[in-house]
Amino acid sequence: MSRSCISPDAILRQLALCQSIQARLPEHPLAYVASYGCQQNEADSERLRGYLQTMGFSFVQEPEGADLVLLNTCAIRQHAEQRVFGNVGALRHTKRRKPGQKIVVCGCMAQQPHAADRLRTSFPYVDLVFGPQELWRFPELLLQRLDSGKRVFATQDVPGTVSEGIPVVRGSGVKAWVSIMYGCNNFCSYCVVPYVRGRERSREPEYILQEIRALAQEGYREITLLGQNVNSYGKDLDSGQDFAWLLEQVDAIPGDFILRFMTSHPKDASPRLFDVMARGEKIAPALHLPFQSGSSRVLKAMNRGYTREHYLSLITQLRQRIPNVVLTSDVIVGFPGETQAEFEETLSLIETVKFDALFTFLFSPRKGTPAEGLEDPMPAQQKQQNFQRLLETQNGISALKHHAYVGKTLPCLVDGTDEKGNPIARTRGGRLVHLNGPALPEGTWADVTITAASTWALFGSIN
């Protein structure tokens, strides 16, 4: 499939439609926007907010009383989907109390045919539904809803595009997401993403670099490059430029920021990438490299394209270059057909690698994926027990890793406050530090001495 770009003129036309929408809205309209998914989903919400702001909306923290409610959904696991349906159900009442409220459901869940059908039949008060590939024409779709008086569903399986010039309202003045590519071509057998986000498309490097130069000038301190598999960046571009090249270019942009990226895929991560990371001045000494399973047989059934041995050799090569690299990963417990011995291989992999932190998931069957129909003989209770064992093992490792920081002094970026209002910061490797002492402005780099540690976080004081 050829890579298709939405022309800047087409985006300008969408922006002009924002003015027509504004003319049809009450004065000072209010919008509530919620994201349910990954960082990519958050980045999409920032663009949807950009469009909404162009329509004249201000933003509120709850749906009650808002003129427009937008839920940007996720479909990665059953739980994500249930949460969205629960919240859409509750909107029946907010809409009753605010006649004229417009309800928009978009994102990955909306792109699944069964979910779109359920929204159509069981939630008649939802006004507009569209998938991630249609985000660029949100103004056009909303105007269609306002003018036709009919509900609008734009959830057909359309080829994905790349568009530039959509305005963005960022959630933070310190940390910024920058999508460098969209979609996924990997078709891991458990995963819904390739079905709901379409094929891999890379943004042209010049647009990415331009966006980051502007962010650096505006004083952003942390920039995270996003893609489902950043290591395949550029494969669809004619220029032959790849992710390692892009990372070097971004690293060379003047500014006081730290550079992160996610997600890397072990089948495409290369020593060349690790060399660039080791050389980079701004690149965080951190890698999120999901392994999913410690068993080569299960990895094959997952269609991951690497073996346990390959994964372990990547970790060795990375640590040779960046000895203190902060390593994080994702793992799935209870993939259909995973035996107890194969689960033990996963456990032994985490004991061998000693990740700093791990995101652990119980397998969740997704409609339309190859793993949905596989035989799954292991009882749920046994899967649950395995899951607990994995968590406990990793908690022990995380605690040990964190305790090794105690007594050290490290540069940290102050990036917000915790739920108690105390300042928090991140190490260059991305570990969370609760600070005691006076709050410093977000975006300040400070030398922090680590005084204590727990499984989840570090505690420190500013020097």
What whole-number distance in Å separates Cα of residue 458 and Cα of residue 435?
9
Closest residue to ligand F3S: CB criterion: 37
Closest CB to ligand F3S among residues 110, 276 = 110
CA proximity to 208, closest of 272, 158, 251, 258: 251
**Is residue 265 involved in binding ligand F3S (CB under 6 A)?**
no
Identify the CA nearest to 197 among candidates 81, 41, 329.
Answer: 41
Task: Check residue 292 and report its DSSP letter.
Answer: B
Q: Which stretch, 56-64, 179-187, 342-350, 391-399, contacts ligand SF4 (CB under 6 A)?
A: 179-187
Please select the residue that binds ligand SAH; options are 263, 293, 398, 427, rule is CB under 6 A.
Answer: 263
Q: How far apart are CA 393 and CA 34, in angstroms?
A: 34
The smaller minimum CB distance to ligand F3S, of residues 107 and 336, is found at 107
Binding flag, residue 76, ligand SAH (CB under 6 A): yes
Which segments of 354-460 does DSSP mark as H helices, in order?
380-403
Query: Is 138 in contact with 51 (CB distance < 8 Å)?
Result: yes
Is residue 108 within the footprint of ligand F3S (CB under 6 A)?
yes
For the chain, the distance separating the N- and C-terminal CA atoms, rounded to the nearest angstrom, is 55
Choice between 194 and 337, CB closer to ligand F3S? 194
With tokens 């928009």, the residue in question is 104
Interface characters, 157-196, with ligand SAH (x: CB under 6 A) = ---------------------------------xx-----
229 binds ligand SAH per the rule CB under 6 A:
yes
Helices (H), 280-359: 296-301, 308-321, 340-353
- Does residue number 332 form part of the binding site for ligand SAH (CB under 6 A)? yes
94 binds, among ligand F3S, ligand SF4, ligand SAH, none (CB under 5 to 8 A by kind): none
Q: Is 132 in the site for ligand SAH (CB under 6 A)?
A: no
Residue of the chain from 11, 30, 74, 446 that contacts ligand F3S (CB under 6 A): 74
Q: What is the DSSP letter of 316?
A: H
Q: Which stretch binds ligand SAH (CB under 6 A): 17-25, 156-164, 311-319, 357-365?
A: 357-365
Q: Footprint of ligand SF4 on residues 192-221 (CB under 6 A)?
A: 193-194
d(CA 24, CA 13): 17
Cis peptide before 263 (omega within 30 of 0): yes
Q: Which residues pair with 330 in a beta bridge?
A: 359
Spell out a b/e string for 250-268, using b for 16 or more CB atoms within 10 Å of the CB, else e: bbebebebbbbbbbbbbbb
Binding-site ranges for ligand SF4 (CB under 6 A): 184, 186-188, 191, 193-194, 228-229, 265
Q: Which residues bind ligand F3S (CB under 6 A)?
A: 37-38, 40-41, 74-76, 107-108, 192-193, 196-197
Give the residues lining the site for ligand SAH (CB under 6 A).
76-77, 190-191, 228-229, 263, 265, 290, 292, 330, 332, 361, 363-364, 366
